[in-house]
Structure 1
C-alpha cells in the first residue's frame, strides 16, 4: 500500500476542540502522566487526574469517558508529536524500518508507570480506545510506508507492524525488557526485508 493511500483522521477523538477545550485536554493528559508516575495505573482515575489538573470532574469526563481512553490519548499525542527525521535512502531498508519501529516502541520507554499503563489501556474494549488504536496504527503504517517506499511489499510492512505489536505486548507482560527491543527489531527488520546485516 502506498503512503498516499493511507488517510489519517484529523478530528479529535470525540469532536473538534476549541482552543480553550484543547488546553483543557492538554492539562488533563499532562496531569495523567504525573498521576501515573506518582500513584500507578491501578489507582489512577479520571476524577483524580481532573483534580490534579484543576479541572472539574464532570468536565474531564466530557473528554475522557474512562482512564483507558485518557492513557491511550497520552500515547497517541506523544507518538503523533514525534519529530520524524527525513528518510535517508542511502541507509538499508532494514535500518530505515528499525528507526520507525524504535520511534514507536520507545515513545514511553523511559517512564515505567506510563509504559505499563499504556499496555493495559491500549487493549481495552472501549470505543474511544479503538479509535485511538486505529489512528496509531494508521500513523505507524504511514511512517513505515514513507520510510520504505518501494523497498518493501505490503506484506513486509504488515509483518513489521505485527512484530512491533508483539514486542510491546511481550514488554507489557514482562517477557521482554525494553532494553532488548532495539536489537530484536533490527533483527526482525533484517529478516523481513532480507537484509543480510
Structure 2
C-alpha cells in the first residue's frame, strides 16, 4: 500500500493530490506551533496557500485531516520484515514500528489519538483503513501460522491500548514500544 494516497472522500487528479499533500504537511507545521486545540482547517489552508473552501472539499474536520496525516505515514512506512527472523521478532518489529511512527512529534502523536477517537464518518473510514493495514502487517509477520484469530486479535488489542495509553500522555512512545515488545513476547508461544 505504500504510496497509496487516495483521498478518503474522492479520487484525486495529480494537482488535487499535490494540494492534499501540501495540506497534510502544513497540518503538521500548524500542530507544532499551536497544538491540536489551536489547529483549524482554516489555519492549515492559509499555511498551505489554499482557500478554506478548497481545504474543506478534502477534509471534513481537523480530526479528518490529522487522521489522514497518520494514514499517510503508516502506508508509507516500509515493511521491514526479514524472513530469516523468527515469528516473534517479526511481530515485535511491526508493533514497535507502529508505536514509534509519531514518537518524535509529541503534538502530532497526541492529536492522532484524539482524532482517531472521533465520530466523523471520514475519520471512521480512515480508522478502518489504518486498522486493516496494521492487521495486514501483523498477519504477514505471523506468517503461515496466522490462522490463530484469538492471537491476532490479542495483538491488535495490545497495540491499540498501548497507543491510546501513550496518546493520553501516560507514558512515552519509546517506553510504550518497549512494553509492547515485552507484552507481545508473553502472548507469542
Partner residue, 1:49: 44
Counterparts of 2:6 and 2:169 in 1: how far apart (Å)? 35
Deviation at 1:11, TM superposition (A): 4.5
Partner residue, 1:32: 27
Check whether the contact 1:98–1:185 (CA below 8 A) recurs between aligned residues. yes
Scaled by the length of structure 1, the TM-score of the pair is 0.90
Check whether the contact 2:68–2:126 (CA below 8 A) recurs between aligned residues. yes
Partner residue, 1:5: none
| Structure 1 gap ranges (5+) | 1-8
**DSSP 3-state at the match of 1:12:** coil
- Greater relative CO (CA pairs within 8 A, separation 6+): 1
Counterparts of 2:136 and 2:38 in 1: how far apart (Å)? 35
Of 134, 138, 153, which aligns to 1:140? 134
Scaled by the length of structure 2, the TM-score of the pair is 0.93
Check whether the contact 1:109–1:115 (CA below 8 A) recurs between aligned residues. yes
Aligned residues: 185
Change (3 A) 1:25 1:10: closer
Check whether the contact 1:79–1:104 (CA below 8 A) recurs between aligned residues. yes
Check whether the contact 2:45–2:51 (CA below 8 A) recurs between aligned residues. yes
Partner residue, 2:157: 162
Task: Spell out structure 1 runs of 4+ moving beyond 6 A.
Answer: none
| Structure 2 gap ranges (5+) | none
Cα-Cα RMSD: 1.4
